[in-house]
A and B are shown apart, each in its own frame.
Chain A
Amino acid sequence: MRLRFDDDVEAFRAEFVSFLDANLPTVEEAAERPTSTAQMPEWTRRWQRLLFDNGWLLPGNPPEYGGRDATLLQQFVHLEELGRRRIYHSFNPQGLGIIAASLLTFGTDEQKKRWAVPILRAEITAALGMSEPGAGSDLAGLRTRAVLDGDHFVVNGQKIWTSGAHDADIILTFVRTDPDAPKHKGISVLVIPTDTAGITRRPFGSIVGRDDLDFNEVFFDDVRVPAANLIGELNKGWHVANGSLGHERTMLWLSFAERLDEMVEDFRPATALDRDRYATLAMDAQALRLLGSAALSRAARGEEDVASISVLKLFGSEAVRTAARHALLAQGADGLPRHGVTRPFEHMNLDWFFASWFERYARSFSGTIAGGTSEIQRTIIAERVLGLPRG
């Protein structure tokens, strides 16, 4: 057990820090806020491209994909440094974190060039079309149909929750291509440009406001998609789904650790009860980082570790939710205003400085619902870590 990283990792951090110091957009440059998770103002595109060109966007990638072949620990300190300075890593998180990553893993060279690189260089943005009205936790139950007709697929069906779809250029869409196969074996993945005829995108409000438009319903009505847009093999989409979620989950805990650190800074308890809750928050923050760093060491050795990914997601997301509830309750009636400034201004940290206590609490549920709910995580841990029988 050690308290420090090796020198090469720290040297890598130092290099990134000096890049940030020299290149970070100024407050004035960063004035325009994005309006959804797929709407990138011009300055955010410039910034992402600068990161890409210098190998600092996703350092684990090779240089042609915005990286510098960094080791896992180097990738970690890169994210850690962004988090510590409250700098958004991506203004199209699904695009960068899931879709580009899936394309780089499962796509052909042509597909990488056509979509992955433009996403990474912030020339286009992408949305993730997995969930459907009838397929949430049971994702494999999805029903959006794609039927091959010559050199095109014809797509019919509906997605929901598709974050940022109304602003995205493409949707990575999970479709059923073999309705007769067992449900995990009849799924395929298509890149569908959102300007294709037959697509209707309808953004709808979230619990924080009817004008908070990121969620979308997306309707596909005889949408013709070139067969060349198939990602991975036909009917092997479940591998891509697992790959996509894998990308999403590997260091997901770090984002919860950062939310907890922010709560440690922002929650100022006054009563004895609130001080007690604050201590719990500080302990959760510390424990999550410790458990995360243990998982990181295992991952750095190349160990498959579904278990701790689920444990960290469950623990981290629920700790954030608990902390946010406590911070809101501590406000009493002062917690009622819809808009409120709850932390100091940070120009590269776009959601939080506008968030009210209620909004922070409400948004904490995205951690416990999206990407596999807490209940689903508990079942996974019970079966895969504790070895309990399937129900």
Chain B
Amino acid sequence: MLFEFDDDQQLLRQTVRDVLSKECPPALVRSVADEGTDPAPLWRTYAGLGWTELTETTEAVELGILLEELGRATDPTPLLATLTWFAPLAPGVASAEQTGTAVFDGVSAHREPLGDGWILDGTGRHVLDGDRADWFAVVTDAGVFTVPAGEATVTREDVFDPLLHVADVSFWQVRVSGESRADVDVALARDVALTGLALTMVGACKRVLELTIDHVRTREQFGVPIGSFQAVKHKAVDMHVAIERAAALAYFAALSIAEQDPRRSTAAAMAKAAAGECTTVVFESGFQLFGGMGFTWENDLQFALKRALSGELLLGGADVHRARVAAALLDAPAATTVAATASEEPHAAAV
């Protein structure tokens, strides 16, 4: 296998990077955090560029490229939730400018006693962009319901990341029609969400490393740049290696989604676990190497640090996903495991 972006993918990355440096610069991110600037115009720009239509699973690698760059820029819009939480559960429901998210847990559905509708009941906690979605895709034992946001009671949480929107989303005996229910591949949707979040974290970690490298090259102590000290260099390298590992596993998950590869679910768990591990290394070393500067509100480092760390706290942390990886490899029927595939199939062994 050739695990490398092709020319189109490289071009996409460059285009996204150029757009973001113009449309979503650090100054905008800062003003969203400090002054409550509305990111809606930015969202419309994304929609105008067609970014919000990257919803086909065959385009998972391209979506991944977009999300990594958005993570790197600490994107303040609800694009991640719309494209990776909502769209896979409710394909074709939202228009290009509409936003959505998913309530993965906490809500049950039962049939309306009289009539052919359903009753939704319960609360989904810590729903990404729950307070600013136009649509919810609600995962229940009885299928996935797509409902307009107005049907739910929403409470935004006050979280440590000033750019992050997370809300509790409650349905109090809400009646929805039978047509709003669909049987979709929830496992696939969860893998898309995990992979999307992993790539967002990878992007944020890359940003932390870039800022850290700039800092240690210019900050002088003892008459020399602190980046010439070996203890500093080696920490920076450990950050780099952790990021490379996490990026590789995350893009492999994206590729396995695009190619409907049987290793998809394990690959997505690996992606999220590695992104979390990378976050731990990058958060601590990045923060540490900035010294007191890293401790301040003024420093933009905080946005990337928080984007990565909040990602680790959402959808299960590294430990949870390592347990899934171990279960898949050790307990599951051999056919779906990476190890079995690698030893049985020469093509796959090439990964």
Task: Give the B-binding residues of A (Cβ under 8 A).
Answer: 1-5, 10, 13, 17, 77, 80-81, 84, 261, 264-265, 269, 272, 275-276, 278-280, 282-284, 286-287, 289-291, 293-294, 296-298, 311, 314-315, 375, 378-379, 381-383, 385-391
Candidates B234, B248, B267, B321; contact of A378 at CB < 8 Å: B234
A287 to B240 alpha-carbon distance, docked (Å): 14
Give the distance to chain B from A296, nearest Cβ to Cβ, in Å. Answer: 8
- Given the interface pairs A84-B346, A315-B244, A391-B229, the reply to whether A289 lies near B4 with Cβ below 8 Å is no
Would you call B227 and A291 a contact (CB within 8 A)?
no
A282 to B330 alpha-carbon distance, docked (Å): 11
- Which residue, of A17, A293, A383, has the highest number of chain B Cβ atoms within 10 A? A293
B321 / chain A contacts, CB cutoff of 8 Å: 279
Would you call B241 and A314 a contact (CB within 8 A)?
yes
Give the nearest-CB partner of A391 in chain B: B228
Decide if B251 is an interface residue (CB 8 Å cutoff): yes
Give the distance to chain A from B193, nearest Cβ to Cβ, in Å. Answer: 19
Give the distance to chain B from A67, nearest Cβ to Cβ, in Å. Answer: 21
Would you call A382 and B326 a contact (CB within 8 A)?
no
Decide if B284 is an interface residue (CB 8 Å cutoff): no
B350 / chain A contacts, CB cutoff of 8 Å: 4-5, 77, 80, 289, 293
A272 / chain B contacts, CB cutoff of 8 Å: 323
Give the nearest-CB partner of B319 in chain A: A276
Q: Report how many residues on chain B are interfacial, defined by Cβ distance under 8 Å.
A: 58
Give the nearest-CB partner of B224 in chain A: A389
3 closest Cβ pairs, A-B complex: A382-B233, A279-B322, A290-B248
Would you call B3 and A386 a contact (CB within 8 A)?
no
User: How many inter-chain residue pairs (CB < 8 Å) link A and B?
Assistant: 168
A2 / chain B contacts, CB cutoff of 8 Å: 1-2
Give the distance to chain B from A85, nearest Cβ to Cβ, in Å. Answer: 10
- Which residue, of A279, A280, A379, has the highest number of chain B Cβ atoms within 10 A? A279
A13 / chain B contacts, CB cutoff of 8 Å: 346
Would you call A1 and B228 a contact (CB within 8 A)?
no
Give the distance to chain B from A191, nearest Cβ to Cβ, in Å. Answer: 37
A17 to B346 alpha-carbon distance, docked (Å): 11
Would you call A311 and B2 a contact (CB within 8 A)?
no
- Given the interface pairs A287-B245, A315-B244, the reply to whether A1 lies near B233 with Cβ below 8 Å is no
Would you call A1 and B347 a contact (CB within 8 A)?
no
A306 to B74 alpha-carbon distance, docked (Å): 31
- Which residue, of B233, B238, B319, has the highest number of chain A Cβ atoms within 10 A? B233
A1 / chain B contacts, CB cutoff of 8 Å: 2-6, 9, 61, 251, 255
Would you call A282 and B339 a contact (CB within 8 A)?
yes
Candidates A77, A286, A386; contact of B240 at CB < 8 Å: A386
- Which residue, of B1, B61, B228, has the highest number of chain A Cβ atoms within 10 A? B1
B233 / chain A contacts, CB cutoff of 8 Å: 378-379, 382-383, 386, 388, 391
A291 / chain B contacts, CB cutoff of 8 Å: 3, 244-245, 248
Would you call B351 and A3 a contact (CB within 8 A)?
yes
- Given the interface pairs A80-B350, A265-B339, A279-B273, the reply to whether A290 lies near B230 with Cβ below 8 Å is no
* In the complex, per-residue mask of B1-40: 1 if CB is within 8 Å of any chain A CB, else 0: 1111110010000000000000000000000000000000
Give the distance to chain A from B138, nearest Cβ to Cβ, in Å. Answer: 31
- Within 195-216 of B, Cβ neighbours of A (below 8 Å) are at 213, 216
A5 / chain B contacts, CB cutoff of 8 Å: 1-2, 347, 350
Give the distance to chain A from B325, nearest Cβ to Cβ, in Å. Answer: 4
Give the nearest-CB partner of B351 in chain A: A289
B4 / chain A contacts, CB cutoff of 8 Å: 1, 293-294, 297-298
Decide if B274 is an interface residue (CB 8 Å cutoff): yes
- Which residue, of A261, A282, A314, A375, has the highest number of chain B Cβ atoms within 10 A? A282
Decide if B133 is an interface residue (CB 8 Å cutoff): no
Would you call B248 and A294 a contact (CB within 8 A)?
yes
A390 to B233 alpha-carbon distance, docked (Å): 10
- Given the interface pairs A1-B3, A388-B227, the reply to whether A279 lies near B323 with Cβ below 8 Å is yes
Candidates B217, B349, B351; contact of A290 at CB < 8 Å: B351
30 A-B pairs within 8 Å (CB atoms) are namely A3-B255, A4-B350, A81-B346, A261-B342, A264-B339, A265-B339, A269-B326, A275-B330, A278-B326, A278-B330, A282-B338, A283-B322, A286-B252, A286-B270, A287-B246, A287-B248, A287-B249, A290-B251, A291-B3, A291-B248, A293-B2, A294-B248, A298-B4, A311-B241, A314-B237, A381-B240, A382-B234, A386-B233, A388-B213, A389-B225
Give the nearest-CB partner of B267 in chain A: A286
Give the distance to chain A from B224, nearest Cβ to Cβ, in Å. Answer: 8
Give the distance to chain B from A289, nearest Cβ to Cβ, in Å. Answer: 5
Candidates B225, B238, B245, B326; contact of A279 at CB < 8 Å: B326
* In the complex, per-residue mask of B318-351: 1 if CB is within 8 Å of any chain A CB, else 0: 0101110111011000000011001100111111
Give the nearest-CB partner of A298 in chain B: B4
A283 to B228 alpha-carbon distance, docked (Å): 32
Decide if B261 is an interface residue (CB 8 Å cutoff): yes
A378 / chain B contacts, CB cutoff of 8 Å: 233-234, 237-238
Would you call A276 and B261 a contact (CB within 8 A)?
no
Would you call B255 and A381 a contact (CB within 8 A)?
no
Candidates A3, A282, A298, A379; contact of B325 at CB < 8 Å: A282
Would you call B273 and A283 a contact (CB within 8 A)?
yes
Give the distance to chain A from B234, nearest Cβ to Cβ, in Å. Answer: 4
